[in-house]
Structures are given as C-alpha cells and as structure tokens.
Amino acid sequence: MLVIINALFSLFLICSVFLFSGQPANAQNPNANQPVFVMVHGTFQWAGQWEPLSTILEDAGYKVLEATLTGLGEKEHLLSKETGLLTHVLDVSNMLSWRDLHNVILVSHSYGGPVITGVAARQPDRIKHLVFIDTVPLDHGENLIDGFGPDVYETAKTAVDEAGDGWVIPSDALREAKPTMRPHPWKSYVERIDIPVDTPAFAGTIIVATEGEVFDHMRKVQAPARAEKRGWSLVTVEGPHQLMEVSPSKEVVAEILLGIAGN
C-alpha cells in the first residue's frame, strides 16, 4: 500500500509541473534558443586570444566557446608538417558536433576566416551567422593567399624559407610576437578549400581593421568584393589587426556581435 501511495504522489507532482507551469519546459528557459558564439583564432594564436572580447559577450549573457587549433597554443605539441587547413576545419567542425551546438555564430580572426568557411560548409544546419574579423571567406578551390594577397604571401613565404625550415611560419613573421604565439604551419596557408556545390548561402559580416599595411589588399580589394558577392555587411573599425584584443576596438566589435545575436 505504501508503494502505491508513493507512486501516486510522484505522479501527482509530475502532473502538477505540466498543469500549473502553463508552458512547455523549453519555454521556461529563456536561453534555450539563444545563439552561442564560437571563436576561431588566427595565425600563431590560440583560444585565449579571444578573452578580452569573450568577457564582454559573456557579461551580456551569452555562451562563448573558444577553439584552439591543432599545433597552436596548448596543442603546440601536435604540430607537424601534415597540419593543414583541413586539420583545422575538422578541429572546429568536431567541436560543434561533439558539443551538439546549434544556432552558432562562428567568429573568426585572420587565418580563422578560411577555417570557418570550411566549417560552415560541413555543418550548415548548425550555423546562424558567420563573422570575419580582418579576414575574408573563401570560394571553392581557394586558399588563404587568394584572400589575403601578394604582400602576405611574400612576407610569410620569405620567413618560412629563411627561418621556418621550409614548413612553418615563424611567430614574428607578420607582427611582433607575443609569448603565447607559436610558429604556424605553412601548409594551412596554401592548402585549397573544398566546398560542396550544394553548400547553402549563409548570413555573414566582414569587419576590417585599419592598421598594418600588409593586410591592405585583403581589406581594400578582397573584402569589398566578397561582401558584395554574398550580400553581406562590410564594416570598418579603427584599430590594429587584432581588433578583439584592445580598447576601444574590442568594444566596437562586441557591439556588432551583440547586434547580430539579438537580430
């Protein structure tokens, strides 16, 4: 008899939740369908590069995940001559799959642009918006050099040949190195991206910086053309290549990202 009473009481409690809540369980959680930011760093860098910007987004109530690509940051021990663009695309694509992330705003910086281009092509149903910070998306068969132009190629290739043993870009090749920056695999710069023909169009935003002449071709030629081709917004933010690391540019970028998330 006691077992029956306990069972009936449990059933009463369960029914009460549904009868008196007045709404389904997922409606009780206002963050259930909230976008999640996934941040993908650039050349030489690691997940921690995003912390100054991520903190602003988290303080606004959003979930932020920062990926570290193979061979860089805390994964520096995994660097090899075989580490390329596809390796890094799979790093982030698998992150989305294993964490079962949806409504994702993929945010990239510099080299991260080609990476999220490939990730979106593999995981289109998980993507809400693509953001390219001082970088551009690629088309099928292109590589980073196609997007960034001859100045980046010549600077990086010279450094690879002279100080990178022919296969890594020294961490001080494109800007002053920080303690957390590591040599970057050259293969990832020249490996060409594969985008299936049935890949859907995505919503996207390109944000370009103003400092660092080596990136002028990307900012003045490639970014406008690629934004127009896709019907995307192109925004210029005053500041260095690493806009997300310093004030006041990080606050401006945060405002743009929060606007995307709330749209």
Radius of gyration of the chain (CA): 22
Mean pLDDT on 189-211:
98
Identify each DSSP E strand in 146-237 by its residue range: 168-169, 184-185, 204-208, 233-236
Question: Region 98-117: what's the mean pLDDT?
Answer: 98
Do β-strands 204-208 and 127-133 pair in parallel, antiparallel, or remain unpaired? Answer: parallel
Confirm if 253 and 237 have CB atoms less than 8 A apart. Answer: yes
Note the pLDDT of residue 33: 87
- Residue ranges of domains in the chain, CATH in brackets: 33-262 (3.40.50.1820)
What's the pLDDT at 176? 85
How many CA within 13 A on the CB side of residue 174?
29
DSSP 222: I
What does pTM read for this prediction?
0.88
The count of other CB atoms within 10 Å of the CB of residue 220 is 12
pLDDT digits 0-9 by tens, 12-59? 444 443 343 444 434 444 466 899 999 999 999 999 999 999 999 999
pLDDT band at 3 (very low <50, low <70, confident <90, very high): very low
Q: CA-to-CA distance for 74 and 245, rounded, in angstroms?
A: 19
Strands 204-208 and 63-67: unpaired
Percent share of the chain, pLDDT over 70: 88
